[in-house]
Structure formats: structure tokens, C-alpha cells
Amino acid sequence: MSDSTTVAVVGTDTGVGKTVVTAGLTHELRDRGVDARAIKPAQTGHPPDDDAAFVADACRTDEAAICLRYLEEPLAPRVAAERADDPLEYEPLLADCRRECEQVPVALLEGIGGLRVPLAGDREVIDLVADLASSAVVVTRSGLGTLNHTALTVDALERRGVDVPGIVCNEYEGASVAERTNPRELERMTERPVETVPPLSGSDPAALADGVRDGLSRSFADRLVEKA
């Protein structure tokens, strides 16, 4: 499909909530009638980690997500592949991702850790994002320390020609001065809209995805729908 759109969901670090945000956005788009699919280029720490399966469970259909490579050790993909003597080459991975992204009107490319994580050969996650995605949603922590990491992530994406339509501060409670002031400061520093998602409990993927959808504003989801 030449008119397909790829939106990356990237994080400032590992464990910031990329998967649950990807699940929420994929679920929202599919509920709006958009044939959206989450693409995980490579999953490390498998098993038990399986981000694509989480998104599929959240959307209640295997059609909602796919993972292209699984690696056992919870390390950067390049390192995990090298230690497993399981060749992971950038160009074939890029071609596989591009093929999958072009199968649907909107593909949500979920990152692996942060942007500078070694992916394959001498390429990093940011190289794949820049080669595939026209825009990227940045998921970040809400508390102290997030300003620097988030601003640097946005800057890195913009230098590679990737637009940032929004930032998501995950697990936002507003319990500290840093948390309460960070969203406004990030908007000032990056000139990008900032959304907040509260801490979500439980283990049901669908319920967690619904919590993300409830936390994000209507206009945030609208901007992604417009790309479809």
C-alpha cells in the first residue's frame, strides 16, 4: 500500500510504558474503523516478554499485532542476537518491517528500549524509526529526571526528520512538584502537546489498554486518525 502510514511509539528508556500505550492507541484506532496493526521489530527477553501478544490480547485479535524476531536474553537486540549466534541483519529486518507496515493503513512501530539501543550491526533503533516512520509518539516517565531525557529524545527524532505529534507522560499521579510541573515544562521545552496517563493496575491487557484510551485526550487520538 503506497498510502500506508507508520507512526512509531518510542520511549526515553526501557520500561516506560511503550507497550501499554501502543496497545491503547492500536485499540482506539481499530475501534474507529481504522485497520491498524502494531509492529514489534524484535522482542528480547522472550519468554516471558511478548509485547505483540500483549497488544493482540488488548485488541482481542491476533490481527492487531505482529513481532518479527524473538530473542531470549533481555538485552539490546544486537547483543542478544550475537550471544545467541542468531544473525540479526539490519537490511533484512528493515525490509520485513516495511513489508508488514505496508499491509495496513496505519502501522504502529513499537520501539525497543530507547532510541540509541543497538539494533543490528552498527544500526540503532532510531535508524529503523527514521527509515520507516513519518512521525513518533514519545512515551516517558512522569517524575523527576524526565525533562532531560524527553527533550533529548524529541531533538534526536527531529534531527532525523521524524515529526513528534505528542508526548505521553506515563503513570502520572501528580504526587510531587516535579510531576505536577513536568507536563507544562515539556510543552514549553519541546513545543509539543503533552498527555498524561495515570498508573494502571491489574493484568488484563484489554483493561489496561482501555485505561490508556481514557487517559488520552480525544484530540490526541484524532491526530493519529487524520494520518489514516
Active site residues: 40
Which positions make up the binding site? 15-20, 44, 51, 110-113, 170-171, 198-200
Which of 154-193 are b and which e, b meaning 16 or more Cβ less than 10 Å from the residue's Cβ?
bebbeeeebebbbbbbbbbeeeeeebeebbeebeebbebb
Which positions make up the binding site for ATP? 15-20, 51, 110-113, 170-171, 198-200
Which positions make up the binding site for substrate? 44
Which positions make up the binding site for Mg(2+)? 19, 51, 110
Taking the C-alpha atoms of residue 216 and residue 193, their distance in angstroms, rounded to an integer, is 11
Judged on CB neighbours under 10 Å (0-12, 13-18, 19+), 71 is buried
Task: Identify the sign of the CA torsion 126, 131, 132, 137.
Answer: positive
